[in-house]
Structure 1
Amino acid sequence: MRHLLSTKRLSDGEIRQLEGAGWRIDQYDAISIEFLKTEVAPDNHLLIFTSKNAVTAFFKSFSNLNFSACRSLCVGDGAAGMLTDKGVNVLEVFPSASQLAGSLGETYTGDSFVYYCGNLRLDLIPDTLDNLKLPWQEAPVYKTLLNPIKWDREYEAVVFFSPSAVRSYTGRNPMGEATGYCIGKTTSAELSKYTHRIICPKTPDRASLMDLLVRRENELK
């Protein structure tokens, strides 16, 4: 039986799914999230979200706001669902931050922006907005805290859900011969600094990542 380490705690259903395929699972939270209050209001700006954590923090900061006038661009169907459930008009949903950034100069040059993000956000979105000379504000709405733990065994697979989790895990552990399973391209780009054994699902979401792990384990039996 092959061993898998998840750098984010899995649901009971996900554990049953992976164990049913033959994986032996260890898990922990490689990072934790602290939500922050922001005074940067959405007003008439086009809002950018690249994570579900940013969406959650945004709603916490403006719990009494009527969101029906808000327009947004976001990464991931999960974030999009959270936004639309609250009445936010989601103009486009992108599979990655790089694709969102690429759309800014094509479609949205007449807009001003607020980027709701975490303290460890990547430079991609800010650099793109600056290079296009588009007006924008940054609103940090959550803080990512690393939880580096040293693991005493080697794993056949390590599962990552964010670049921050990659940094947390690799800060205390080598990848060795393990394959890194990453939820999306931004996470895999961070992991590529430490290993070339990387696999991503075609669709960057948890369900696709679990299906990929099941399929790979069945192929290797």
Structure 2
Amino acid sequence: KILATKKLSVEQLRMFNKEINVTDTDFIDIRYNRLSPNLVKEPIGHVIITSKNALEGLLFNFTPDELRFKNIYCVGRKTKALVESKIGKVSHYEKYGEDMANYLTKNLKEKEVTFFCSDIRREEIPSILTKNGFGVNEVEVYRTVLKPKPFEEEFDAILFFSPSGVKSFVEMNTFGSSVAYCIGKTTAKEAKKYTKDVVISHTPLVESVIELVNKSYV
């Protein structure tokens, strides 16, 4: 028995081995912020988009034509594909935020970037860039709201896709003997505060987490 701490798509649910019984439910909610039209009045030279939610938050406020970004930098292959399908070409992408910050530090002559993020964004990008003399204009595009819920039953594995998902889960539950399967290093770091049994997927994709579970429960 497995608990996924966010709703999965039909395709993702089909990926699980037949014998695995999956419960999927959202432990966090995403709320988009209203953004000022002044934000996109002029073209923007360098922008960082690290998630699908940040992209959706921008498109909640503006049409793709209004988003005149000269260079877009993405974290994650899926984010890159989404950005390219909805607003335009991505100049560079990395798997992790830290790698992106290091890439920009080495390669960007104009030390000015706009970072579209959430209220509980990760520190690596702004802190590495600021340390290296960059001006970082942070725009909070969406908010993450915890939606904790209690579960009486015990699961063999619990799947986490963000540090916020872990925080929400532990508000009303404990791990017991459940193994935490995590989408990336930052999520795993949060899970390790509450359990020793943590497994991290090789690539930060939901599908990679599912493949890992399938290998463990053949």
TM-score between both structures, scaled by the size of structure 1 = 0.89
Does the CA-based 8 Å contact 1:70-1:89 persist in structure 2?
no
Runs of at least 5 residues in structure 1 that lack an aligned partner in the other structure: none
Distance 1:164 1:108 in 2: 31
Runs of at least 5 residues in structure 2 that lack an aligned partner in the other structure: none
Gap change, CA 1:69 and 1:127, over 3 Å in 2? closer
Distance 2:9 2:62 in 1: 29
Shift of 1:143: 0.9
Does the CA-based 8 Å contact 1:19-1:25 persist in structure 2?
no
Specify the alignment match of 2:32 in structure 1. 35
Letter aligned with residue 8 of structure 1: K
Letter aligned with residue 15 of structure 2: Q
Does the CA-based 8 Å contact 2:146-2:164 persist in structure 1?
yes
Distance 1:158 1:44 in 2: 41
TM-score between both structures, scaled by the size of structure 2 = 0.90
Does the CA-based 8 Å contact 2:43-2:67 persist in structure 1?
no
Q: Given the alignment of the two structures, is residue 61 of structure 1 paired with residue 66 of structure 2, yes or no? A: no
Higher mean alpha-carbon deviation, 136-145 vs 208-217, is at 208-217
Specify the alignment match of 1:185 in structure 2. 185
| Matched position secondary structure for 2:83 | helix
Q: Where do 1:68-217 residues align within 5 Å? A: 69-217=69-217
Shift of 1:109: 4.5
Shift of 1:195: 1.8
Shift of 1:61: 2.0
Deviations 1:51-90 (CA, angstroms, capped at 9, x unpaired): 1100111122221535465311111111101111134231
Distance 1:13 1:87 in 2: 25
Specify the alignment match of 1:50 in structure 2. 50
Deviations 1:66-124 (CA, angstroms, capped at 9, x unpaired): 54653111111111011111342312211111221222322225231111011111222
Deviations 1:189-208 (CA, angstroms, capped at 9, x unpaired): 22122222111221211222
Distance 1:35 1:177 in 2: 36
Does the CA-based 8 Å contact 2:184-2:204 persist in structure 1?
yes
Specify the alignment match of 2:14 in structure 1. 16
Specify the alignment match of 2:4 in structure 1. 6
Letter aligned with residue 132 of structure 1: N
| Matched position secondary structure for 1:65 | helix
Moved over 6 A (4+): none
Does the CA-based 8 Å contact 1:69-1:89 persist in structure 2?
no
Shift of 1:176: 2.1
| Matched position secondary structure for 2:92 | strand
Distance 1:75 1:86 in 2: 16
Distance 2:99 2:16 in 1: 31
How many aligned positions are there? 215
Distance 1:88 1:196 in 2: 42
| Matched position secondary structure for 2:204 | coil
Higher mean alpha-carbon deviation, 181-190 vs 46-55, is at 181-190
Shift of 1:17: 2.9
Does the CA-based 8 Å contact 2:44-2:68 persist in structure 1?
no
